[in-house]
Amino acid sequence: MNNETILPPTILTHRRTAYRPVTTEGDGELTASKFSGRPWLKADESWPTCPNCNTAQQLFVQLNLASLPPAEQTRLGDHGLLQLFYCTSSDPLCEVQCEAYFPFARSVMARRIDDPSAPANTAAQGPAEPLAARRIEGWEAIDDDVPGWEELYQMGDQLSPEEEEALDKAERPATGDKLGGWPAWVQGVEYPSCPQCDARMELVLQIDSEDNLPYMFGDMGAGHLTCCPNHPDVLTFAWACY
Ligand SMILES: [Zn+2]
Ligand SMILES: [Zn+2]
């Protein structure tokens, strides 16, 4: 049996390449791309804390833009770091108190570091129980990532029942952790808007429950790190679950 699913040409017009992180156990260098581990911090900066509970946030991900696939560098920049910090405190339960599933929550920080060659703080005190780190050693292309049916409908496409079935069978958009491509929305299309220009923010990284990061978003939800196309410094993270 041939398990390759041919997507209809109408859907393939929206094709984008997404990239799965290829990871290994353990932390990498300070400026490496990684899930959890030690983040690059400015020399005079302490480990970021959550304003709701005043304890250190977890580093969820750090991306070194210089090591991304060239097509993603064109989109996101070719130098510097993107970092996502998230409070996982259970007492108080900051995720709920701060509604961390919505974009721009207080207990979450997403930011861009322009110059990681500047002096760094390599000894900052992080969370008491850091999540297990995985360093990202490369990226594996998914050549045929396409939007989900809901997003296709929003873009004005009309799908036949056969086309919907093909999309479903192909398991597109791809779930799991991935850079770029199309978001696999859990609760419908939810792109955040930039607070500065109202533009639709674009997918940087999809972070799925218990993939590379040993963390569960609600009941097996998925999160999306997004960036404003006009304001490279405006980044945010939001997630949804079933
Ligand atoms: Zn907190
Ligand atoms: Zn903007």
CATH of the domain at 30: 2.30.320.10
73 lies in some domain: yes
Instruction: Print the domain residue range for 122.
Output: 9-240
Task: Domain count for the chain, please give it.
Answer: 1
Q: Which residues pair with 113 in a beta bridge?
A: 81
4 lies in some domain: no
2 lies in some domain: no
Q: How far is the CA of 195 from the centre of ligand 2 (A)?
A: 7
Q: How far is the CA of 105 from the centre of ligand 1 (A)?
A: 11
161 lies in some domain: yes
pLDDT in tens, 91-103: 999 999 999 999 9
3 lies in some domain: no
Q: How far is the CA of 112 from the centre of ligand 1 (A)?
A: 21
**Nearest ligand atom owner, CA of 228:** 2
With bands split at pLDDT 50, 70 and 90, how would you rate the model's confidence at 228?
Answer: very high
**Nearest ligand atom owner, CA of 192:** 2
pLDDT score recorded for residue 5? 60
pLDDT score recorded for residue 2? 42
With bands split at pLDDT 50, 70 and 90, how would you rate the model's confidence at 6?
Answer: confident
Q: Residues with beta carbon < 5 A to ion ligand 1?
A: 50, 52-53, 87, 89, 94, 107
- Cα–Cα distance, 143 to 11 (Å, whole number): 13
**Nearest ligand atom owner, CA of 197:** 2
59 lies in some domain: yes
pLDDT score recorded for residue 9? 87
Tokens of 209: 């429950």
